């Protein structure tokens, strides 16, 4: 991997200013852009390390605080290690903020994030990729549907509620997506039971979306997130390989 540079910055959106983290190869050249969507716990050192690892493979990675309307990250105090009971307590505090981020607001923001990437001299011309974790996985798929001309690849890891009865369920957006998709589901994830995985697959197949879905056995919701009790090193490395393969096929010349 190449040397990378990371920095914090502010992004202007239609509704305010979002704090964000940017990581890119430290060579001054433009590289394919990737919009990385955070999990519910938000921007923090471990996610910054993930952004830098991805950048080290030749990408300019933008990771916004999608809950910026509630304040700059971190929105709650986070311990160095988040175990199960702590995770539930923290999520309970964050849930009202997450719920307030409607699909309409999130996609209005997505347009601003993509505009920033398109205008940056650090980003190569052409479509970009997006990847997300937990709630960020849902946002990645919604972004691929909202901006099909701008997203060439999208990945979602341990994302929940992808195929529900709701009118705005992500799986109902399948016919708008032109990007290649990858899903890395956790088989120990109550937020995405087997019937939702099946419904998602059916929707993607019927819409003719290029995609690959894998269920990681023994993995829990949050398996990619170091510093939490859900972290699974083997599953996390598997996710890196899948993500890099997806982005390489669609973004690298």
Dihedral of alpha carbons 211, 212, 213, 216, sign: negative
Phi, psi (deg, nearest 5) at residue 234: -65, -45
- Answer yes or no: are the C-beta atoms of 7 and 22 closer than 8 Å: yes
Longest CA span, the chain: 47
Phi, psi (deg, nearest 5) at residue 119: -90, -15
12 DSSP assignment: E
Task: Point out the residues that are catalytic.
Answer: 134, 189, 221
**How is residue 74 written in tokens?**
């971190």
| C-alpha span between 145 and 154 (Å, rounded) | 10
Per DSSP (E only), the strands in 38-86 are 60-64
First and final CA of the chain: distance in angstroms? 17
- Answer yes or no: are the C-beta atoms of 1 and 57 closer than 8 Å: yes
What helix, strand, coil percent values describe the chain, rounded to 5? Answer: 40, 25, 35
Dihedral of alpha carbons 182, 158, 201, 37, sign: negative
């Amino acid at each position: 991997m190449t040397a990378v540079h990371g920095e914090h910055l502010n992004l202007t959106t239609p509704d305010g200013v979002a704090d964000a983290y940017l990581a890119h190869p430290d060579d001054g050249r433009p590289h394919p852009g990737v919009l990385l969507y955070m999990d519910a716990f938000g921007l923090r050192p471990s996610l910054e390390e993930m952004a830098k690892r991805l950048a080290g493979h030749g990408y300019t990675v933008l990771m916004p605080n999608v809950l910026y309307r509630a304040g700059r990250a971190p929105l709650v105090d986070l311990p160095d290690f988040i175990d199960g009971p702590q995770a539930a307590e923290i999520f309970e505090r964050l849930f009202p903020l997450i719920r307030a981020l409607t699909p309409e607001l999130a996609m209005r923001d997505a347009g601003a994030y993509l505009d920033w990437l398109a205008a940056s001299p650090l980003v190569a011309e052409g479509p970009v990729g997006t990847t997300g974790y937990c709630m960020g996985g849902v946002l990645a798929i919604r972004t691929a549907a909202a901006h099909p001309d701008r997203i060439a690849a999208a990945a979602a890891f341990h994302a929940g509620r992808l195929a529900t009865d709701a009118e705005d369920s992500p799986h109902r957006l399948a016919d708008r997506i032109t990007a290649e998709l990858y899903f890395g589901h956790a088989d120990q994830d109550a937020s995405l039971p087997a019937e939702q995985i099946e419904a998602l697959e059916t929707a993607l197949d019927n819409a003719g979306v290029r995609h690959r879905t894998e269920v990681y056995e023994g993995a829990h919701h949050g398996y990619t997130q170091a510093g939490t009790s859900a972290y699974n090193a083997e599953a996390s490395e598997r996710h890196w390989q899948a993500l890099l393969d997806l982005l390489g096929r669609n973004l690298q010349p």
